[in-house]
Amino acid sequence: MQTATIQTAAPLLEVSDFSLHRGAAAVLDRVGLTLRPGETLGLIGESGAGKSTLAMAVIGLLREPEVGLSGSLRFHGEELTGLAEARYRKLRGNRIGLIFQDATAALNPCYTVGAQIAEPLRRHLGLSKWDARERAVELMTSVGIPEPRLRLNAYPHELSGGMQQRVMIAIALACNPELLLADEPTSALDVTIQAQIMELILERVRALNSSAIFVLHDLALGAQVCDRIAVMYAGQIVEEGPSAEVLARPLHPYTRGLKSCVVELGSEDLQPIPGQVPPLNAMPEGCRFAPRCPKAQDVCRRERPAPETRDGRQVACWFID
């Protein structure tokens, strides 16, 4: 990846000061992110940090009146938060694709996989029934599904979990989206094929020259597959920057905690940092990480640190060393 050109290109996705409220609780709190064309970003954080919520908000699936959005989400410079639904529909599945965590649950059990792959092709590209089928066969081949013509008429339950996820990838990439959102695309799969599916998604993203946001909870994996890393904690982005630098020299105590966990224990099941994420309705006033932070001072508990830019990285901490 030529970092120089990426840095200067106009942003593909610009999230700034973006908050999402459910009732009084801020599930996402003043999130800021920039993704340039061709760039891949790893969104890392514990379960419940708001990673899926952010992905769903970007593709416009959290627009019910009871969900409060504020701040800005820009795609190619176009503001998405107030976008008309008809216009948003033309982006979904077409210019923005989404891969779900659990392909088994994300495929409609009553329709064949061929029908579900053909759907965005017919809707967004206006292909005829026949052309959509032919294109679906090509897509299935491209994601490594053997005997695609036969599988076209298979129902989801007739395929293995890995094959189902390949189908989801084919659907998400059917219209060559500029932005792919992959929400823990391998965590529901057998460990033996996780790497294989991850590799496939990366290969397809590169082949289509798309940008991608990978939601992951493994910092090391994120750093390995993505250009940039954003670490989320309790609805906030606490640190963001180039993968190699974030992994080699984490600036935020939470990132450091995540890293030491991976290095020392090598397992995501074990709790990396003592304590728990505070519940949404009882978020601390100041830094949301303060109650678990080994270095927390009075100021941390009193005031929320604003993200600070340092050497092309953003960190939200009062005590960056």
Ligand X SMILES: Nc1ncnc2c1ncn2[C@@H]1O[C@H](COP(=O)(O)OP(=O)(O)O)[C@@H](O)[C@H]1O
- Residues lying near another protein in the complex (CB under 8 A) are found at 56, 59, 61, 89-94, 97-98, 100, 102, 105-111, 119-120, 123-124, 155, 157, 168, 171
Which range in 32-40, 45-53, 68-76, 77-85 contacts ligand X by CB under 6 A?
Answer: 45-53
Contact status: 45 vs ligand X (CB under 6 A): yes
**Among 40, 53, 211, 314, which residue sits at the site for ligand X (rule: CB under 6 A)?**
53
Residue 310 CB contacts under 8 Å (≥ 6 apart), including other chains: 251, 320
Compare residues 111 and 311 and give the one whose CB is closer to another protein.
111
Question: Residue 40, interface with ligand X (CB under 6 A)?
Answer: no
User: Closest separation between CB of residue 52 and ligand X, Å?
Assistant: 3
DSSP assignments along 247-291, one per residue: HHS--SHHHHHHHHHHHHH--SSS-SSSS-PPPGGG--SS-TTGG
Q: Where are the beta strands (DSSP E) in the chain?
A: 13-22, 25-35, 40-44, 67-75, 78-79, 96-99, 179-183, 211-216, 228-233, 236-242, 308-310, 313-315
Quick check: 186 binds Mg ion (CB under 5 A)?
no
| Residue appearing with tokens 């890995």 | 162
> Cα separation of 108 and 298, whole Å?
51
Residue 280 binding partner per list another protein, ligand X, Mg ion, none, with a CB distance cut-off of 5 to 8 Å that depends on partner kind? ligand X
Query: Which of ligand X, another protein, Mg ion, none lies near 102, with the C-beta cut-off 5 to 8 A by kind?
Result: another protein
Q: Does 255 bind Mg ion (CB under 5 A)?
A: no
Residues 8-37 binding ligand X (CB under 6 A) are 22, 27
Contacts of 242-249 with C-beta under 8 Å, sequence gap 24+, read 242/312, 242/313, 243/42, 245/311, 245/312, 245/313, 246/313, 247/219, 247/220, 247/223
Closest distance of CB 44 from ligand X, Å:
10
Look up residue 292 and give its two tokens. Answer: 């678990």
Interacting span for ligand X (CB under 6 A) from 44-52, 134-142, 168-176, 267-275 = 44-52
Which residue lies nearer to ligand X by CB, 151 or 217? 217
For residue 101, the one-letter residue type is Q
Q: Which stretch binds ligand X (CB under 6 A): 41-49, 165-173, 189-197, 304-312?
A: 41-49
What is the closest distance, in whole angstroms, from the C-beta atom of residue 22 to ligand X in the complex? Answer: 5
Distance CA 69, CA 64 (A): 10
Comparing CB distances to ligand X, the nearer of 31 and 246 is 31
Q: Does 53 bind Mg ion (CB under 5 A)?
A: no
Of 54 and 106, the one with the shorter C-beta distance to another protein is 106
**Sole window of 46-54, 92-100, 103-111, 174-182 interacting with ligand X (rule: CB under 6 A):** 46-54
Binding status of residue 52 toward Mg ion by CB under 5 A: yes
- List phi, psi (to 5°) of 268: -90, -5
42 near ligand X, rule: CB under 6 A: no
Task: From 154, 167, 190, 208, select the one nearest 40 (Cα to Cα).
Answer: 208
Stretch that binds Mg ion, among 1-9, 46-54, 73-81, 294-302 (CB under 5 A): 46-54
Question: Phi and psi for 42 in degrees, rounded to 5?
Answer: -100, 125
Q: Of these partners, Mg ion, another protein, ligand X, none, which one is at the site of residue 98 (CB under 5 to 8 Å by kind)?
A: another protein
Angstrom distance (rounded) from CA 109 to CA 95: 26
Which residue has its beta carbon closest to Mg ion? 52
Query: How far apart (Å, rounded) are the C-alpha atoms in residues 197 and 117?
Result: 18
CB distance 218 to 202 below 8 Å? no
Q: Which two tokens mark 59?
A: 């593709």
Contact positions toward Mg ion, by CB under 5 A? Answer: 52
